[in-house]
Amino acid sequence: MGQTWASRLIIFTTLLFLVGPFIIIIFAGLSAGSSLAFPPDGLSLKWYLAVFEVESFRQSFVLSMFLAVGGTLTALVIGVPAAYAICRYNIPGAETIKIIVAAPIIVPGIIVGLALLRYLVVPLEFTVTLALFLAHTALVLPYAVRVVSASLQNLRTDIEEAAVLLGCNRLQAFTKVILPNIRSGILAAFILGFVTSFNQVPVSLFLSGPGVRTLPIDMLAYMEITYDPSVAALSALLAFLSIGIVFIAEKTLGFSRYV
Amino acid sequence: MSNIAVSLQNLTLAYGDTIAVPSLNLDIIDGELIALLGPSGCGKTTTMRAIAGLMKPRSGTILIDGKDVTKTPANKRGVGLVFQSYALFPHLTGFENVAFGLRLKKRPNDEIVQRVEAGLELVGLSHLATRKPSELSGGQQQRLSLARSLVMEPKVLLLDEPLSNLDARLRLDMRTELQALQRQTGITMVFVTHDQSEALALADRIVLMKNGHIEQIGSPEALYDSPQTVFAADFVGFENIFSVGLNTQNEGTTIYNNTGELTLPYQANVSHLAWRPGGVVVGSGPHKGVVTGMAFAGDKREYVITTSAGKIKADVDVSVPAIQIGEDVFFDLPESSARMLDDKATQTQFKHG
């Protein structure tokens, strides 16, 4: 009995530790006062509404959406064939390729950001937006390759040969038999990539320019000047967005199989 | 005069530097059910994949219906293949799996529905058309896979170890069903197996293969009763195989293996002699041995007799009282049940278990 209580306490504390900040943010955003505080200074929805009035938030939200959707789609266009090649062919150094592909998540984001700034934006005069796009694509690519590889590995190789013997050429065998069977893996990779890209801070920190900021960076900048609860409100809204996406993904795809 | 459905001419198949099948020649007759039989690594699956077009031959020619298809890609050969693991499309229903090839050919919808239904009917799966492959049993998956190939009306249907993934009872059912399907459709079928009893029971003709060569071709009866080589004899159950000594003394024959020798009271001018366990006489005869193993097998007892020439396997009807392990017995290797093999190529003595 004592053991059960002890383990329950540990579980409860752990969960509180994980969820606590989120709860604080939600309530801090509900404050009726004009500075960020917890417990909130009275309750109101005004800061949740105020978020939508801030012009720079709207701009950076659009940029973040573009990076998350565009970067992830690009990463999938590159990653799906790469995963297919790694899984199906005896490529020399396939393991090395896998490690290199994973590099952007292993190397600290600060370094990636600095490197991109120093070697792409400054000397080659890449626009900040293009550099951001390339950075986000690279960051999401490991997820695309890994998640799609996982679902390819669960697929028998002989179904492709079966399709060929029934009259498919190689491309048809891929689109008619392989793609439909790894569809949920691709969707899972997309969602994972989207969330990763959208919440990305360290790389984007270095790649900001006049009027070009991703939403998290814009929020940081906003807080340096204005210490009102709208940032908390926005954070809560973004967290709900992520939870919503992952929840739908779990319900429709069994997302946890892939992550 | 029967037509040749498939003709393999000097077919050489290789993986990289390893030659799997060196120069194979084989004619498969239209409408027959033929087995490629042999142990793993004998080239039977490789040969089948070459007929399907999944493997490019190093050299040689493949003719199907008299046409050279050596360079024809797999999707244009009109050959069906039922994979060992069935290779059904997991995302499609039973119906759509069978319809897959017809849809690719852009057949009119009425025709597709009619042919798919006929195909499912043929294999007895009409009631399960809406199920996904994962919701079908192993036997049902196999029949679905068969139907998927059959609706394409292939010139040749290849089957890779068709019975190996089924349990014993299902295996018997499927064996009968395959034969019936073959008679009904008249499609030339080539199946690959390592199981001699499967080949003997199912095939019109058996091609026994070893190391990429054809060891013997013939009807199941011919292969079973008259194996031509040591390898063939061993494969069809002549478990006691001896080399014949060069010097025959006093009208007798010395036979030996790597353990020792025996002298038979009759002459045999061949290279090897072989007996099935059932052909060995136990209880009387000129030779003496010790019973070192006995297994009850329902209608017979299977003995292992240790002799001066190693272990001999002998089957005795259950009506004969059992001989206990450790007892001495007399036995005979009679001329009447001996298979005389003139197999000069097999120099080494056959090893015994």
Question: pLDDT tens digits for B178-197?
Answer: 888 898 889 999 999 999 98
In this complex, the residue of B87, B149, B152 whose CB is nearest that of residue A158 is B87
- DSSP three-state, residue B116: helix
pLDDT at A119: 85
A162–B83 CB contact, under 8 Å: yes
A162–B90 CB contact, under 8 Å: no
Say if residue B168's pLDDT is above 90. Answer: no
> How far is the alpha carbon of B62 from chain A, nearest alpha carbon, in Å?
17
A-chain residues within 8 Å CB-CB of B74? 161, 164-165
pLDDT at B250: 64
CB-CB contact of B191 with B28 (8 Å):
no
A-chain residues within 8 Å CB-CB of B148? 162, 166
Q: Residue B253: name the closest of B282, B281, B286, B226 by CA.
A: B286
- Alpha-carbon radius of gyration of chain B: 24
Distance CA B278, CA B336 (A): 12
Q: Give the mean model confidence (pLDDT) for residues B20-25.
A: 93
- Quickly state the pLDDT bin for B1 (edges 50, 70, 90): very low
A-chain residues within 8 Å CB-CB of B157? none
In which element (H, E) is residue B81 found? strand B79-82
Residues in A whose CB is inside 8 Å of some CB of B read 155-156, 158-159, 161-169, 172, 176-177, 180-181
Nearest CA in chain A to B106: A167
Distance CA B80, CA B94 (A): 17
> How far is the alpha carbon of B154 from chain A, nearest alpha carbon, in Å?
10
Nearest CA in chain A to B51: A165
Q: Give the mean model confidence (pLDDT) for residues B160-176.
A: 83
A158–B80 CB contact, under 8 Å: no
Distance CA A29, CA B6 (A): 78
B-chain residues within 8 Å CB-CB of A156? 85, 87
Pairing of strands B240-244, B339-341: unpaired
> How far is the alpha carbon of A143 from chain B, nearest alpha carbon, in Å?
24
Angle made by CA atoms B25, B26, B31, in degrees to the nearest 5: 165
CB-CB contact of B259 with B309 (8 Å):
yes
In this complex, the residue of A156, A168, A180 whose CB is nearest that of residue B85 is A156
Nearest CA in chain A to B146: A162
CB-CB contact of B200 with B206 (8 Å):
yes
Position with higher pLDDT, B12 vs B342: B12
* pLDDT under 70: residue ranges of chain A: 1-2, 254-259
Distance CA B22, CA A36 (A): 82
B-chain residues within 8 Å CB-CB of A187? none
B80–A169 CB contact, under 8 Å: no
Q: pLDDT digits over B233-276, tens only?
A: 999 999 999 988 765 556 678 888 888 888 888 888 888 999 99
Q: pLDDT digits over B34-93, tens only?
A: 999 999 889 999 999 999 999 999 999 999 999 999 999 999 999 999 999 999 999 999
Which of B:92-111 have CB within 8 Å of A?
A: 100-101, 104-105
A-chain residues within 8 Å CB-CB of B48? none
pLDDT at A100: 82
B148–A181 CB contact, under 8 Å: no
pTM of the predicted structure, to 2 decimals = 0.80
- Provide the percentage of residues in chain B whose pLDDT is more than 90: 70
**How many beta-carbon pairs below 8 A join chains A and B?**
60
Q: Residue B309: name the closest of B251, B271, B254, B229 by CA.
A: B254
Q: Give the mean model confidence (pLDDT) for residues B195-204.
A: 90
Give me the residues paired with residue B328 across strands: B290
pLDDT at A65: 93
The domains found in chain A, sorted by start residue, are: 56-214+235-257 (1.10.3720.10)
Nearest CA in chain A to B157: A165
Nearest CA in chain B to A182: B91
pLDDT at B352: 42
Distance CA B9, CA B12 (A): 9
pLDDT at B248: 53
In which element (H, E) is residue A137 found? helix A128-153
A-chain residues within 8 Å CB-CB of B89? 159, 162-163, 177, 181
In this complex, the residue of A158, A176, A181 whose CB is nearest that of residue B83 is A158
Q: pLDDT digits over B88-146, tens only?
A: 999 999 999 999 999 999 999 999 999 999 999 988 899 999 999 999 998 899 999 99
Tokens of A59: 């701009």
pLDDT at A1: 53
Q: How does DSSP assign B221-284, residue by residue?
A: HHHHH---SHHHHHHTT--EEEEEPS---TT-EEEE-SS-EEEESS---SSEEEE-GGGSEEEE
A161–B101 CB contact, under 8 Å: no
What length does chain B have?
Answer: 353
Q: Give the mean model confidence (pLDDT) for residues B17-22.
A: 91
B74–A165 CB contact, under 8 Å: yes
Q: Which residues contact B146 (CB under 8 A, 6 or more apart)?
A: B82, B123, B181
Q: Other C-beta atoms within 10 Å of A246: how many?
A: 16
Nearest CA in chain A to B82: A162
Say if residue B7's pLDDT is above 90. Answer: yes
- Quickly state the pLDDT bin for B346 (edges 50, 70, 90): low
pLDDT at A125: 78
B90 touches chain A (CB under 8 A): yes
Q: Residue B290: name the closest of B259, B258, B321, B314 by CA.
A: B314
